[in-house]
Chain A
Amino acid sequence: MITLTVNGVPHQVDAAPDTPLLYALRNDLGLNGAKFGCGLGQCGACTVLVDDKPAFSCLLPIAALAERKVRTIESLGTREKPGALPAAFEAEQAAQCGYCIAGMIMRAQALLERTTRPTEAELRAHMAPNLCRCGTHMRVLRAVRRAAIAMGGGVRNDAEDAL
């Protein structure tokens, strides 16, 4: 048995110590947010926060997480009361198939917890580890900008300067 602290709640997980966190979250804890995309740290579909930093849950063996705090999208509010980022993604209709979106939201959450006033270039660089195949990127950026404002900050648009 390995103890995992997920969204503030300790859980006992009966799985091999080398089991990546992703499978424990999805199959043992029944959380749908983190998705299997590559299992290789290349796409970000599985992104969660570990001690407030974005992490690829597909690469982290549960044995390494005993003392660490894991947060998933399920901690950012509910359908009825979504948090700032999920609400902004809804408002901007920032999804097509949506398979990448929970990972996007968690990566953006890490950024906005660090600063609610990133520049556009910082935002884009920060989001670069996460892939989207539907081409929803422009809306993802709009949603993060909207959430930054809702959290009392805002993204400074330096995209033109960056080019």
Chain B
Amino acid sequence: MSALTRRRLLGQGALVVAFSLSRRAMGQVAEKRPTLPGDLDKFPLLDSWIRIDADGHITVFTGKAELGQGLKTALVQVAADELAVPPAGIELITADTARTPDEGVTAGSHSLQDSGTAILNAAANVRVLLTEAAAWRWLVAVEEVELHDGAAHAPNGDSLGYGELAAMLSLHVEAKPNVARREKGVRLIGTNLPRVDIPAKVTGGVAYVQDMRLPGMLHARVVRGPSEGTRLKPADFDAVARMPGVVQVVRDGGFTAVLATQEWQAIKALQRLQSAGWDRPGAKLPAEDMREAIRRLPSREVPIFDDPGPPAPADGKVVRARYSRPCLMHGSIGPSCAVALWENDGVTVWTHSQGVYPLRKSLAELLRLPADKVRCIHTEGSGCYGHNGADDVAADAALAARAVPGRPVRLQWMREQEHGWEPLGSAMVVELEATLADGRIAGWRHDVWSNAHSTRPATAGGLLAGAELDPPFPRQVPRPIPMPEGGGHRNGNPLYALTNAKGTYHFIEQMPVRVSALRSLGAHMNVFAIECFMDELAQAAGADPLAFRLAHMADGRAREVMQTAADRFGWAGRAQGGGGRGWGFAFARYKNLAAYCAVAMEVAVDRDSGDIKIRRVVAAVDSGEAVNPDGIRNQIEGAIVQSLSWTIHEAVAFDTTHRSSFDWSAYPIVRFDALPASVEVHVIDRPRQPFLGTGEAGQGPAAAALANAVADAVSLRIRDMPLAPEKVKAVLRS
């Protein structure tokens, strides 16, 4: 063993133990040290991420949350792989303000990039420390120590468990950068480890916050009008308080909740209060389509990109097109739910919020408590696909529980409340203009109009209840999310090699309806527009859509993804489109920095009904190093099906007084009888390359491939979503 190693090990004993979750900025280390990978940079102490008990029990901490995307499984895989233990040997703790690092919001396909990378590198650091401890104990060279199955093994056959080794050292030390990954032994990364959460979900186990049943728990419902912007007329609260099982009617300013012993009793009390009728106190909603309405509101110009270049030749062919989408709904299958418990002048909230830390801050302000009196524990809910009712219902539950200290309160929204009050995905309009010269793009303009794409709570004013208390909390002012991530302008900068190209985001601050982050944010619309437009340009240039794309693409990985999807689909050998049958292709790299995804699709359009049948979908995806290829396939399959539902079936409807898409009959989504005949996803693995977020990569390409296939089938272009049968029929008749 080297003197250096020994000195380092001995030196650790002198380290001052401080709270392991201290951020780097608050840390004690004065000298500048190199950047650490992922969120390890924000929380450099190893025991923020990994702890090993004396009995060898390993606990891994992440500030990210399981949303049904398979996060738990992938993180267990990453940690177990690098620590050389079986996956069952890892206990994973997810987002909990009392226990895990503050990794912000679980969104934007960031979890593996930020948290997975942090855990991978923290685990590599821990593995090195364990190896060195074993070497020191046995007085052998570190190279002679082998780690596997939760123990260190010496050349002479001796072994030491991780628990014993961990007792010899402190993990309360900062991570070192550039620690090499494990080279030898069985690998877990890259295998299809079955999801750790699925067994409970297919056998009726406790899996969701909705399933929590704490002793003495009351059931609550929040009382609101039919949709955002409406208000219930005064009701006979005393009569409701006397209804069977009703424990209390909680009223605080304009906030009302009913608490009852049984859930059905709470629902009946809610229905009684709602029967008083409602009105709309504020301004009326616009009478016209929401995308036209917001397009005429004042906007602020935010540059997306500006790649100057030689001006397009005067005789170039100018092509222009305008695309749009309506407001869309997250539409979680399980309405939002939270459980709250007031004790010792503080509150614990079990929540499926995507951001337990920002939620804690907002709740502390709402409840006028110090932040350390609020604990938010992530507990799985129904898939959310962005900012749905999760945070709002957590506030509702906390306010309801404040009235009954010591008694847990479970509050779930009704279906109509989720449909009526969830923040929507914004309506959007994109205008594109390009100049073609010699079959190539010689100029490009992208203009996108949209409301904000995140109004997630950062203050009490970001929560529905914040506006209902007396006095109300000031509303959060929406702001555009800066590039390179972008909000409404996300993916407004094509990855294609363009010059004389410019993009502008017309950010509309004023929101006629409440909107926020919906899976992929503006990328669904921007990619839809860009990739439809690429087809329109290819057609104007007389080129094959794939060949035209490849001719403008310099990024090798993008080219390979496109080629893979095309080859697996049989793009080159497809029949001529027309007569109701069509083939479409589309590509994007999510945010130009996460996963690459290409989608090819075949459709059949019924000219009489306008119905689109999807015969086949083939996708290829490059997510960097594929931790769990089947998990990636699951995400992309889901993104494709969901995006097809958005693009064909969905549009939130309003009248001037309220949101009229109040349930699944008024807001239909795809059902089994309208699914593609098949969906195939091919994963291109890139071992040792950075993890690239995948969860939202499929939304844009799937939407555009569909529209391109429909255009190929009927020789007419539909540029406004949804591509609903009536619209297809109308376009065909015109």
Residues on A close to B: CB < 8 A? 15-16, 18-20, 23, 26-27, 30-33, 35-40, 42-43, 45, 72-74, 76-79, 82, 86, 89-90, 93-102, 105, 124-125, 127-141, 159-160, 162-163
Contact = CB atoms under 8 A, between A and B. Distances in A.
A87 to B, nearest CB: 8
B139 interface: no
A59 to B, nearest CB: 13
Contact of A16 (B244, B635, B675): B244
B513 to A, nearest CB: 20
B663 A38 contact: yes
A40 B194 CA distance: 34
B210 A23 contact: no
B286 to A, nearest CB: 28
Interface in B52-68: 67-68
A33 B333 contact: no
A35 B638 contact: no
B550 to A, nearest CB: 29
Contact of A23 (B262, B380, B382, B415): B262
Nearest to B332: A133
Given A134-B68, A134-B383, A32 B204 contact: yes
A139 B645 CA distance: 17
Contacts of A136: 634, 637-638, 641
Contacts of A16: 244, 264-265
B69 to A, nearest CB: 7
Given A42-B663, A102-B204, A97 B383 contact: yes
Contacts of A45: 333-334
Max count, chain B CB within 10 A of own CB: residue among A45, A99, A130:
A99
A96 B68 contact: yes
10 contacts: A32-B208, A36-B335, A38-B664, A45-B333, A90-B198, A97-B67, A99-B334, A133-B383, A137-B641, A137-B675
A105 B202 contact: yes
B734 interface: no
* Secondary structure of the B contact surface, majority rule: loop
A124 B638 contact: no
Contacts of A137: 641, 670, 672, 675
Nearest to B334: A99
Contacts of A95: 68, 195, 197-198, 201-202
Contact of A99 (B69, B383, B637): B383
Given A97-B333, A132-B333, A137-B670, 18 more contacts: A37-B334, A43-B664, A73-B203, A86-B203, A93-B192, A96-B634, A98-B197, A98-B202, A99-B332, A125-B673, A127-B672, A128-B673, A135-B645, A137-B675, A138-B641, A138-B675, A160-B615, A163-B604
Contact of B198 (A32, A76, A93): A93
A163 B198 contact: no
Interface of B: 67-70, 192, 194-195, 197-208, 210-211, 213, 219, 244, 262-265, 267, 330-335, 380-383, 385, 412, 414-415, 604, 613, 615, 630, 634-635, 637-642, 645, 663-665, 669-673, 675-679
Contacts of A127: 672
A27 B213 contact: yes
Contact of B201 (A23, A78, A98, A140): A98
B202 A101 contact: yes
B353 to A, nearest CB: 15
Given A23-B262, A79-B199, A159 B638 contact: no
B168 to A, nearest CB: 37
A159 B677 contact: yes
A100 B203 contact: no
Nearest to A74: B204
B637 A133 contact: no
Contact of A139 (B68, B201, B637): B637
Nearest to B211: A32
Contacts of A79: 199-200, 203, 205
A36 B412 contact: yes
A110 B638 CA distance: 25
* Secondary structure of the A contact surface, majority rule: loop
Contacts of B194: 90, 93
Contacts of A132: 333
A73 B204 contact: yes
Given A93-B634, A97-B68, A138-B675, A131 B333 contact: yes
A135 B638 contact: yes
A102 B675 CA distance: 20
Contact of B665 (A23, A35, A42, A129): A42
B678 A159 contact: yes
A127 to B, nearest CB: 4
6 nearest A-B residue pairs (beta carbon): A97-B68, A135-B641, A97-B383, A98-B201, A33-B204, A135-B638
A128 B672 contact: yes
A40 B244 contact: no
A43 B630 CA distance: 27
Given A30-B213, A138-B679, A78 B203 contact: yes
Contact of B210 (A36, A74, A94, A131): A36
A89 B665 contact: no
A96 B383 contact: yes
B569 to A, nearest CB: 16
B201 A101 contact: yes
Contacts of A32: 204-208, 211
Nearest to B213: A30
Contact of A82 (B203, B263, B613): B203
A34 to B, nearest CB: 9
Nearest to A138: B679
Given A134-B642, A136-B638, A137-B672, A23 B264 contact: yes
Contacts of A102: 201-202, 204
A35 B198 contact: no
A39 B198 CA distance: 25
B581 to A, nearest CB: 11
B415 A77 contact: no
Given A40-B415, A136-B638, A27 B262 contact: yes
Contacts of A93: 192, 194-195, 198, 630, 634
A128 B671 CA distance: 6
Contact of B415 (A19, A38, A96, A135): A38
A31 B383 contact: no
A107 to B, nearest CB: 10
Contacts of B678: 138, 159
Contact of A35 (B210, B262, B604): B210
Nearest to A121: B673
